[in-house]
Amino acid sequence: MPKTSVGRQGRGRSPHSAATVVRERVFAGGERYWSHQDFSGLSAAAVAHAFSRLTAEGVLLRVRKGLYYRSKMTAVGPSMPSAATAFARTMRVPLHASGLTAANWLGLTTQNPARGEFATPAAGRPGWLSDVVVHTRRPVSRMGLPDDDGALLELLRDRARFSDLSPRATVKRLESMLSDTGRFARLAAAALSEPPRVRAMLGALGEQAGMPADALTPLRAGLNPLSRFDFGILRVLPNAREWQAR
């Protein structure tokens, strides 16, 4: 008699096979948050047991009930979760990390602020968020941007001042993040609605990262040639003055 196949929802899986599925997906997933909803096809008890084992092994960090974090190694040590950041991610709202929260999100610091800091295009702060700082009325061009892209724009607004890396190491890290043409194109389009200093810094970083001229032209075209901008620690960019840094 042929064996009965296991349905799509994973009925009939042994606890061992379920634990293997969880373990393999966590290790393959890199830095991210995990919850039971990510394994809806498996037994809730088996997933809970797998999470518990991975936490005991130091693979996962329990953020709060039902939510776990897989860190990554950064230039300043293992990344650490922010409870407020984790909560914002699970709610799927148009919120991007800002300030020190953004620097932590992007791997430029392991520090977490006492109060999480976020930015949103919305006119008012989400009612469910408490004890966090929320900057409202960011440009609507941010709608739909991935979390990392929004955090990058916020980091540039702050002139990367929350980075724990040296200025040159910060620049190198940002250039690496901007080396993907698709990401730079998204950011360049969104940055046309950002303050001029953000467009100038993004243009300088993009040029250093080898972005094509046609991707940089709109950023430069929107700058008043008589203006000079405070690049903060990013003034170490070799082409900073060409992009009107003071």
Q: Is 34 helix (H, G, I), strand (E, B) or coil?
A: strand
Indicate the Cα dihedral angle 12, 16, 18, 22, nearest 10°. 180
Residue 142 has pLDDT above 70, yes or no: yes
Amino acid identity of residue 12, one-letter, is G
Please choose, from the candidates 158, 147, 139, 169, the residue with its C-alpha nearest in 3D space to the C-alpha of residue 201. Answer: 158
Residue 132 has pLDDT above 90, yes or no: no
The confidence score (pLDDT) of residue 10 equals 42
Distance CA 100, CA 111 (A): 7
What are the residues facing 64 on neighbouring strands?
67
Lowest mean pLDDT across 37-46, 66-75, 138-147, 168-177: 66-75
Average pLDDT over residues 135-150: 90
> What is the Cα 93 distance to its own chain's centre?
14
The pTM assigned to this predicted structure is 0.66
15-70 CATH: 1.10.10.10
pLDDT tens per residue, range 29-70 = 777 778 887 787 788 899 999 999 999 998 888 876 777 888
Q: How many CB atoms lie within 10 A of CB 146?
A: 11
CA angle 29, 82, 162 (to 5 degrees): 105
Give the residue, 115 or 185, on which the prediction is more confident. 185
CA angle 74, 75, 76 (to 5 degrees): 90
The confidence score (pLDDT) of residue 80 equals 58
Average pLDDT over residues 73-97: 60
Indicate the Cα dihedral angle 37, 39, 45, 49, nearest 10°. -110
Burial 85-124 (b: 16+ CB within 10 A, else e): bbbbbeeeebbbbbbbbbbbbbbbbbebbeebbbbbbbee
pLDDT band at 81 (very low <50, low <70, confident <90, very high): low
pLDDT band at 75 (very low <50, low <70, confident <90, very high): low
pLDDT tens per residue, range 198-219 = 999 999 999 999 999 999 999 9
The confidence score (pLDDT) of residue 29 equals 78
The confidence score (pLDDT) of residue 8 equals 39
Answer yes or no: are the C-beta atoms of 73 and 56 closer than 8 Å: no
Residue 93 has pLDDT above 60, yes or no: no
Q: Where in the chain is the domain with CATH 1.10.10.10?
A: 15-70
